[in-house]
Structure 1
Amino acid sequence: MIHIKDAVRFSILITILVLASTACDRSPDFETENKNSSAYILERFQDPPIEYRSAPFWVWAGDVSEEEIDLQLTDMKEHGMGGAFLHARPGMITEYLSDEWFDLANHAVEVGKKENIHIWLYDEHSWPSGYAGGHVAAEMPDSYIHGQGLQMVPIEDIDTSDLSDYYLFLRETDEGYEVVDDHSDLNDAVFGFRMHHYSQTGRYGGYSYVDLLVDGVTEKFIELTMTGYEERFGEEFGRQVPGIFTDEPHIQPPSVPSDDPHGRTTRYTPDLYDVFEDTWGYDLRKHLPSLFIETGDWQRIRHNYYQVLLDMFIERWGKPWYEYTEEHNLTWTGHYWEHTWPDPIRVPDNMAIYAYKQMPGIDLLFNTPEERPDQFGNVRNVREVRSVANQLGRTRTLSETFGASGWELDFEDMKRHGDWMYALGINFLTEHMYYGTLKGSRKRDFPQSISYHAPWWPHYPELSNYFARLSLALSTGRQINTTLVIDPTTATWMYQGANGIHERRDQIGDSFKSLLDQLELHKIEYDMGSEFIIKRWGSVDDGKFIVGEKVYDQLILPEGTDNLNRATVDLLRQYLEQGGTVLDLSGVPGRVDGVQSDEVLALAELFSDQWFSFDALTGELLEKLAVPGFSPFSPENFGGKIFHQRRQLDDGQLFFWSNWSTTEPGEIEFSASGNNVIEFDAVSGAVKSFPFEHHEESVSVSFTLPPTGSKMLFISDGSADFETSPYIEKSSTGEQIEPAGPVAAERMDPNVLVIDYVDLQVKEHDLEDIYFYDAADLIYESHGFEWYSFGHNPWNVGVQYRTNILDMAHKFDEESSFTATFPFYVTEELTNRESLRAVIERAHLYEISINGETIEPLEIEWWLDRAFNVFEIGEYLQSGRNELVIHASPISIHAELEPVYLLGDFYVEEAGQGFTLKNPDPLDLGSWKDQGLPLFGHRVSYSNEFEIDETDGIYQVELGDWYGTVAEVIVNGQSAGVIGWQPYQLNVSDYLTEGNNKIEVIVTGSLKNTLGPHHNDPEVGFVTPWSFFFAPESQPAGEDYHTLDYGLFDD
């Protein structure tokens, strides 16, 4: 069996708990706009305004219509979202940036006004931002034609008869290297530098990515992207259209094959050498080998080089966009390539360029923290964006979240990952993604989809409301972080050669990660300091180190701070001269601007009474990092994986605590200044009293956070009164009420068979038993479609520039055709055949038959997606092999061959190849896979009856050994709520009556079991389009399909 988490005991328990409560005063009138007060939160906490609600990537990846816009925006609004980022993705049929595109966007804005949901813009067709779906390259050839990367090649490996790809040659001298001016005489040359270009591919609409370091490229990109929006609804900028998202723009050099003996390239742009010499006063060309090998003063050269690249990226990308959005009243948000630190090749310093966003952001993808620690679990990612926001007065910080986690992503992981990033400083959630359609290859676009397609979608308001309350509360007040941790990014530059990995660079990265993890463990409150931001916004006053709006009492120099920039050293000197404190874990930086120097060592010796050196984050250092107003008690012993955020409000302190662990509870104990403790329950929206011990000017609080649990507490300074519900002290023991009989289990939705292997006749090919993806690709290839992005189907992870994919339709002439036969097997015993239906995508493109009988789709009815048509096929079935045939003649450019789905009342039995349908057995406890539901991902109900003598107690349903994305609890026919995360309990007291009560738990699975990926042992929680592209040559045994064990396992 395949499990993605350890099983936990599952049962349905109803436990009577003892009620304990504390009284509290009623609240005053909360009519106020003071956004730094608890009153501001309380007034809005139950139903936060749309600006605090999530805004997903709203995927436009088909032929968009006003009808679909209307339906989808209403759907998002009804499920608790407050906005949507209008986002073109691969498979987009409507022409990007056409009049039709802008008109549809305008319609979305009008509908958004009606529905009270914001329409955010997204600045690109797919990603990375900057090329405008091919329009920039098409209209500005200088954006890409010159080349973007240099590769160093020893002269002996160069064919001197053809130097067309070579840009520069160097000869070696006693002083280093010099440029060879005469390329006809290379006798004394030692290195040549080959120019490489970004690849032209369907991924960029047939063009290439563009060079964002070329002056004017960003302005052209903005012009092409924004003019149509300005003309249609520019008056709504900053109102109904709050802002725009930019996604992963970068300056990475072109790649080369992994087996190229001369290694990788380093970044080039036409005026690089002029800008470099203006900045540093010397000719970079003579030092190019230092970017590839450790020759000459290579640490200085590399440092200076990446500093110039950063400055150019900010000046030519960050600032133009920031100035444009400021002028047009837009909030610029989005993210860069923050996960690859300490590798600087894509973005030399993410923190620096965050400074030029009104709402800086990150992305956090996948659901595999152990395999991808650069994503969830990477403290640095969140802390750096929060630090910039704190320093520059940015109230909101965004995270693009949950993408590529697979259809299997469940409520518990959504909540725990969300809690983790909110505790570290995020307060605007952008879900990745809300698919507009699943048709064709679009369903494989880094799933899951947080949309109407998901079986758990009806319950998503539980999470959307929860995150909205967190966003509201954690956007209020401010963090009081008095310690600044210098970011060692400029040190990592010195060790970044073109060929990548350097031991010291990675040591710095690992050490800094460890330091941040230790600071979080000990609940130290800090910001990170980018040297670029320190240079631009740093100052010193009265012994305080100031960065923008933040004032710091002490600085930490982490291990690995091998370099400091000149501006940082100058401010450090002033800071020490005014009595500032330095906490040094670095062993004293030995370079300034990459140049070896004893200057910082001299400062350490001169101000030795203020300069404290430590080998590790030990007791003495921790004492120096303590802050007034908050004291955690032995936080290293809390257990679990505990993170927190503390915010200062005008009338008290707000604490948010989260436990990121899935297995271990946390025992939290701390004291804080204040007089009263209130719980803001972000799950229910209730405001509750909370137990505490009162001291003279402080309170102490202790509580347990279950695995994946969270808690928000407000500690009032006494100036506010609150109307609260009573605190309920849950007893550790309770009386279990036994059910009246065995659990009754019932499937609530039709069972599913996925047919993903076909027989195909196309052109001269007559193939049997091939994977649908290979069949689809062959249909396009055999009609002359060239490799576009990945494969010959141009809609598959490809971008359409203007109508260049639609224009390929002529390749399918009037004589073109294919026939795809989807075989499936039915046992003779299957009796309820009239229940069987077939689901086929975009049926209007084909002639469809079952066992030789032509069939037509049902009118209006659809399944899973509005483009998935439903057919009744029961009357045509026969025992044994059945053939559902799809015939296209002529073939449409949109005829992406996809799996066929069978729905009905049947048992899916594993066979030597695939599956066989037979009569269903009654369902029971246990895995759905073992009960004929291996490809089923929807809902199964488990019910029982309980006798209740009296209803005065506290009763809860508690789940133990179960697995699903979420479970709904129905009591006496009424929904009592959902269970989605530990401790898997739900209070149902209000729904019980004396006597007999029926309690039903509806477990919901996921589309992982239906849509896959199913083959080649795919990784759970890490799903990309490539997870679906490869499968066995012929259909494997049913038991080899990769699916998950959903269900209720014992009572």
Structure 2
Amino acid sequence: MFYEEKNEKDLRKELFQNPGSAYRGAPFWAWNTKLNKDALVAQVHQFKEMGFGGFHIHCRVGLDTEYLGEEFFDCVKACEEEAKKEGLFCYLYDEDRWPSGSAGGIVTRDSQYRTRFLVFSPVGYVEEEEGSYMAAAKAVRSQNRKHLAYYFVQLDPEGYLESYECLDRLPEDKENVWEAFLEVSGDTPWFNNQAYVNTLDPRAVRKFLDVTHERYYQELGADFGTEIKSIFTDEPQTTHKGMLTTPFDKVQILTAYTDDFDTTFRGKYGYSLLEHLPEVFYEKAGGDDYQVRYHYQTHVMERFSEAFGDQIGEWCKEHGIHLTGHMLNEWTLHSQTLAIGECMRPMKEFGIPGVDMLCDRREYSTLKQAVSVARQENREGVMCEIYGVTGWGFDFRNHKLAGDWQAALGVTFRVPHLTWVSMEGEAKRDYPACIGRHSPWYQRYGLIEDHFARLNTALTRGHALVRVGVIHPIESYWMYWGNKEQTALRRQELEEGFERLIQWLLFGLIDFDFISEALLSEEEEDVTREGFPMGEMSYQTVLVPECSTLRSSTLKRLEAFAEKGGRVIFLGAAPEFEDAKRSDRAGKLAAKTELLPFSRARILEALERERDVDIDVFPMDGVDPTRMKHKEEGNRASNLIYQLRQDGENRWLFISHVNKPVNEHITWTERWKIRIRGVFSPVWYDTMTGKIQSVHADYQEGWTLIEHFASQHGSLLLKLLPGRVDEIPAEQEGSKRSGTNQTGTGEGGRLPNLESKACRLLPEPKSYHLLEENCLLLDQAEYRFDGGAWQEKEEILRIDNLFREALGYPLRMEALAQPWVNQDEEKPQHVLTLRCQVRSEISLPEVSFCMEHPENAKIVWNGATIPYQDAGYYVDESIRKCRLPGLEKGVNELVVSIPFGRKTNVEWMYLCGAFGSRATGREGIITPLPERILYGDFTRQDLAFYGGSIDYVTEVETDEGELFLEISHYRGALMDIALDGEEKGALFLAPYRKSLGHVSRGTHEIRIRLYGNRINSFGAVHNANAAETWYGPNLWRTEGNKWSYEYQLSEMGILTAPVWWIEKENG
């Protein structure tokens, strides 16, 4: 069991306030270097320090210890033992990098287990050479092929399929003749010079289980189900399905297939796919029959689900652990069809269904699909791989907001992406930020983890209350997976309707579940249950959203539901196809039930009887009246979603914001008027502080009314006890009932009204303190190869590419094989020399020079060779320091010669010391340390590349009373406030106000610690595309107008003067 306490009669106060490890996140722990057991064991403690409940051992780019080898498992077992001692969980991950299935290429060394695909090719087609390799299972071409059939294909003048013939032999006249052949994947460096696994073949997946899961069970099986709760599978997929651009194109199409596909297809549908293959790719005139294409898509999805998700899920159940993880391409109808068919059916046997949420996107469909499966299959929770690809600048307020809305949709198990073992080489660009010790804020992350752990203690109890089911329209999308010219508009229409309906329901505060037709077809109908049963759930109303086709099994269930008085609502139009063949069966059912226009207003009106929660929002202080004068106040919330759960006789309600404020610095507070169907006594569970407090409620016509004040990063967890407030003893919850109807803003229920206060600007800091040394980034240099002529200054990662191209080495920006695969590689045979001209406005007796593997380099400073003597490290142990004597005022010359081979990492370098740094164009200049740091961007105050934290210290003269502080404009992870040397806690959420407690009349010192990040020292400082949201490795290597040699630095610091005010007891 994942959550042991969820079946206790009530949520204990002690558990809520101090949740155990099971309720806490467990980040990906990137094993990305040569493993050192002692260092790994030492790092285990950081997870506990950060408030995590454990870690996922995740092999990533840079692993230099044999995957699944003896030394590897020595490290795994040592970390698992240390986790046990610390009360943490060790979670497993099933692959070297991703996607899951090849076991780092071990499985696919045997070609019978490699992925294969069908190629539909015009006879005589001249194939082009492959481009660069991608980190995915897209088809990799080879000459390992097997002929399947020839086809004569005749199109009409409009491009519709007029006729076709499957041929045994190639005719003499090759005009309009196509060949189908099976092709086995070629080698690719991403799979360590092997290939991806055949996820349509249960034998291949069984081999993956034997190599990976059985080995883990052999080594750690005694702790399965106790200390080891789950194993994570990442982005399994099929060969991506291609399509033509126009029907007249004469190009190859690649699509998912395997050796016995036609045999199992024939067994399922009674005819040969190969004999009808052109119908998969071309549109038939008349558009009355899409069955061949539909059956093909269905069969791919079924075979993938059975071979991968079902087989591995069953193995996990038999061995006492949960299968978790996520599919590839979960978001859209298009992306799902491309890579796997659909997301819900393959997760049926997942113990903890999961999703991946990258770039801080709002993929409502992705979560709704996984959560629906979890609810229907009665799973304990839902996993999200969260925060990936968000960059160094992603701060605490966004960590909370991103997690909140996902929790409201049903996520209970957070897997933050990611923390690194090392920053060596390419690892430092492996989708930062590092949620771990490489970030200066890591020791404060418990603020985030405590909040979500407390939330999970409530939201893992009982079951979700959901009255509406929605038939998932993915199978209608499959019908139109044809050439773009003839099908794209219909697919876009389905896609847009899919996304609109999700948002209309969620933001209309009507919770719902998706119903997968594939899963529904496997359900045994239970006529004794009320509603529309789907697994453990039952729905009062079922929506059919502009589908083109429904399965006959789905129509049978809908007809039976309607016959017994159930409510079926067709939206837009009734489907005109049954099992992808034209039929009036759905139309007849729609005539007997309800058919509504595809309109937000009409749909929400029709679902009003299913409503359990409604919220009106009234913007308050901070709102620009010129923006609001044309907007009606008190409308239904447009940026809130909720989850309602039944827990015995009680209920839990969680409400969250979803989207970021337009301007994170300038926000407003809101008054929520919450209506809940039924009569309840509400208790506020403050997840940020652990406090529990009963709150006031009013009642009206069978509804409970609650008023709440919130910020734009706010969320609310309420326990709802049956009965009126005046009927429930306050002592029942062990807390004093509040007499106010303000349930809080993170400041104990107080919401200062700034308009009525005498606010003053906080004086400029009288002093500041850097919590680590400042640095100068050395990322551009003159260079030469093997003692040749000096070349003009260039950015160092680009120099690395130039040298690799000249030598025929693979570029590090491509999909390289892991270092562990190439243990016998020869020593470097070449030398790369870099020359940096370091301009300084000051002289210093010494500075520190920082680079990777300086022990292998020759370092010359101002003409003198510097013997390497280790002086510690900068940020990561791989970036070593050595002392350089005598920084001179003027120009200093640094020359570094690096032995160069295939495995050499040529990386940016740094100078560190007691100096300032200024960025002017493409030049970094050493300056004196600033005498003062004022409010404003400190990168413009001679701390251009500083990546650490900073203390601002100032003083204020106050009257006696309660001192409040507001800091609304800042760039950094979060702030800690101290008054007269006493810590007062963190500040990072809107409205950015904090009570510092009662003060006496006189002078008081305020220290504000702003926690920085590494965006200007390790970030993509040459990326000129500010709109880019994909913070992947190649953002450091942009090209064209997306590249800038001039530094593109990010704001850092307290950007405007904070304000303060005093509140006296008499107001």
Name the TM-score, length of structure 1 as normaliser: 0.88
Q: Which one of the candidate residues 320, 330, 335 is aligned to 1:329? A: 320
What is the match of residue 355 of structure 2? Answer: 362
Q: Which one of the candidate residues 822, 826, 848 is aligned to 1:805? A: 822
Whether 1:915 aligns to 2:953 is no
Give the superposition deviation at 1:878.
2.5
- 8 Å CA contact 1:556–1:582 kept in 2: the answer is yes
- 8 Å CA contact 2:574–2:595 kept in 1: the answer is no
Q: Which one of the candidate residues 818, 843, 858 is aligned to 2:854? A: 843
What do residues 852-899 of structure 1 show as CA deviations (whole Å, max 9, x unaligned)? 3343566562221122212222x332333323333345x576531111
Q: What letter corresponds to residue 812 of structure 1 in structure 2? A: P
Q: Distance in 2 between matches of 1:492 and 1:618?
A: 25
What is the match of residue 260 of structure 2? Answer: 271
Give the superposition deviation at 1:167.
4.5
Q: What letter corresponds to residue 385 of structure 2 in structure 1? A: E
Q: Distance in 2 between matches of 1:483 and 1:538?
A: 20
What is the match of residue 714 of structure 1? Answer: 719
Whether 1:564 aligns to 2:546 is no
Q: Secondary structure at the match of 1:250?
A: coil
Give the superposition deviation at 1:238.
0.9
Q: What letter corresponds to residue 730 of structure 1 in structure 2? A: L
- 8 Å CA contact 2:245–2:483 kept in 1: the answer is no
- 8 Å CA contact 1:640–1:659 kept in 2: the answer is no
What is the match of residue 671 of structure 1? Answer: 675
Whether 1:345 aligns to 2:342 is no
What do residues 520-546 of structure 1 show as CA deviations (whole Å, max 9, x unaligned)? 121112111000111112525256210
Give the superposition deviation at 1:1035.
11
- 8 Å CA contact 2:243–2:483 kept in 1: the answer is no
What is the match of residue 405 of structure 2? Answer: 420
Q: Distance in 2 between matches of 1:328 and 1:469?
A: 30
- 1:572-971, aligned counterparts within 5 Å? 572-605=558-591, 608=592, 610-618=593-601, 622-627=605-610, 630-632=613-615, 637-639=635-637, 641-661=639-659, 662-663=661-662, 666-672=670-676, 673-694=678-699, 698-718=703-723, 721-724=732-735, 726=738, 728-733=749-754, 735-736=757-758, 738=760, 741-748=763-770, 749-763=772-786, 765-766=788-789, 767-780=791-804, 785=809, 787=810, 791=811, 793=812, 797-800=815-818, 803-808=820-825, 810=826, 812-813=828-829, 816-827=830-841, 830-831=842-843, 833-834=844-845, 836-855=847-866, 859=870, 861-873=872-884, 875-889=885-899, 891=900, 894-921=903-930, 922-951=932-961, 953=962, 955-971=963-979
Q: Which one of the candidate residues 197, 211, 229 is aligned to 1:210? A: 197
Q: Which one of the candidate residues 214, 219, 230 is aligned to 1:232? A: 219
More deviation, 198-207/533-542:
533-542
- 1:95-174, aligned counterparts within 5 Å? 95-138=66-109, 140-144=110-114, 147-153=116-122, 167-172=148-153
Q: Distance in 2 between matches of 1:960 and 1:172?
A: 66
Say if 1:869 and 1:965 are closer, same or farther in 2 by CA, change over 3 A. same
- 1:296-335, aligned counterparts within 5 Å? 299-335=290-326
- 8 Å CA contact 1:910–1:1037 kept in 2: the answer is no
Q: Secondary structure at the match of 2:513?
A: strand
Q: Distance in 2 between matches of 1:341 and 1:440?
A: 37
Q: Secondary structure at the match of 2:609?
A: coil
Q: What letter corresponds to residue 331 of structure 1 in structure 2? A: H
- 8 Å CA contact 2:188–2:194 kept in 1: the answer is yes
- 8 Å CA contact 1:908–1:917 kept in 2: the answer is yes
- 8 Å CA contact 1:351–1:388 kept in 2: the answer is yes
- 8 Å CA contact 1:437–1:865 kept in 2: the answer is yes
Say if 1:694 and 1:175 are closer, same or farther in 2 by CA, change over 3 A. closer
Whether 1:88 aligns to 2:77 is no
Q: Distance in 2 between matches of 1:239 and 1:973?
A: 44
- 8 Å CA contact 2:467–2:541 kept in 1: the answer is yes
Q: Secondary structure at the match of 2:52?
A: coil
Say if 1:588 and 1:40 are closer, same or farther in 2 by CA, change over 3 A. same
What is the match of residue 378 of structure 1? Answer: 363
- Unpaired stretches in structure 1, ≥5 consecutive residues: 1-31, 368-375
Whether 1:282 aligns to 2:271 is yes
Q: Secondary structure at the match of 1:396?
A: coil
- Unpaired stretches in structure 2, ≥5 consecutive residues: 129-142, 155-160, 619-633, 663-667, 739-747, 1059-1067
Q: What letter corresponds to residue 1057 of structure 2 in structure 1? A: D
Q: Secondary structure at the match of 1:171?
A: strand
Q: Distance in 2 between matches of 1:419 and 1:934?
A: 34
More deviation, 297-306/527-536:
297-306
Q: Secondary structure at the match of 1:1028?
A: helix
Q: Which one of the candidate residues 40, 45, 52 is aligned to 1:69? A: 40
Q: Distance in 2 between matches of 1:229 and 1:92?
A: 18
Q: Distance in 2 between matches of 1:1032 and 1:753?
A: 26
- 8 Å CA contact 2:1012–2:1052 kept in 1: the answer is no
Give the superposition deviation at 1:393.
0.4
Q: Secondary structure at the match of 2:334?
A: coil
Identify the structure with bigger relative contact order (alpha carbons < 8 Å, sequence gap 6+).
1
Taking only aligned residues, the RMSD between alpha carbons, in angstroms, comes to: 3.1
- 8 Å CA contact 2:544–2:570 kept in 1: the answer is yes
What is the match of residue 625 of structure 2? Answer: none
What do residues 615-636 of structure 1 show as CA deviations (whole Å, max 9, x unaligned)? 4233575354433754545999
What do residues 448-494 of structure 1 show as CA deviations (whole Å, max 9, x unaligned)? 11010012212111111111112222111211111111111110110
Q: What letter corresponds to residue 350 of structure 1 in structure 2? A: C
Q: Distance in 1 between matches of 2:533 and 2:252?
A: 43
- 8 Å CA contact 2:508–2:604 kept in 1: the answer is no
Q: What letter corresponds to residue 141 of structure 1 in structure 2? A: S
Q: How many residues align?
A: 985
Give the superposition deviation at 1:764.
6.4
- 8 Å CA contact 2:669–2:991 kept in 1: the answer is no
- 8 Å CA contact 1:745–1:924 kept in 2: the answer is no
Q: Which one of the candidate residues 190, 206, 210 is aligned to 2:177? A: 190
Name the TM-score, length of structure 2 as normaliser: 0.87
Say if 1:1032 and 1:935 are closer, same or farther in 2 by CA, change over 3 A. farther
Q: Secondary structure at the match of 1:774?
A: helix
Q: Which one of the candidate residues 249, 252, 263 is aligned to 2:236? A: 249
Give the superposition deviation at 1:710.
1.1
Q: What letter corresponds to residue 250 of structure 1 in structure 2? A: Q
- 8 Å CA contact 1:92–1:799 kept in 2: the answer is no
Say if 1:257 and 1:413 are closer, same or farther in 2 by CA, change over 3 A. farther
Give the superposition deviation at 1:958.
1.4
Give the superposition deviation at 1:177.
2.4
More deviation, 405-414/296-305:
296-305
Q: Distance in 2 between matches of 1:526 and 1:800?
A: 44
Q: Which one of the candidate residues 970, 980, 990 is aligned to 1:972? A: 980
Q: What letter corresponds to residue 288 of structure 1 in structure 2? A: L
Give the superposition deviation at 1:183.
2.8
What is the match of residue 1056 of structure 2? Answer: 1049
Q: Secondary structure at the match of 1:90?
A: coil
Say if 1:273 and 1:1002 are closer, same or farther in 2 by CA, change over 3 A. same
Give the superposition deviation at 1:684.
1.1
Give the superposition deviation at 1:433.
0.3
Q: What letter corresponds to residue 916 of structure 1 in structure 2? A: I
Q: Secondary structure at the match of 2:390?
A: coil
- 8 Å CA contact 1:148–1:269 kept in 2: the answer is yes
- 8 Å CA contact 1:822–1:900 kept in 2: the answer is no
More deviation, 440-449/652-661:
652-661
Q: What letter corresponds to residue 227 of structure 1 in structure 2? A: E
Q: Distance in 2 between matches of 1:582 and 1:324?
A: 38
Give the superposition deviation at 1:133.
0.7
More deviation, 425-434/703-712:
703-712
Q: Distance in 2 between matches of 1:328 and 1:589?
A: 44
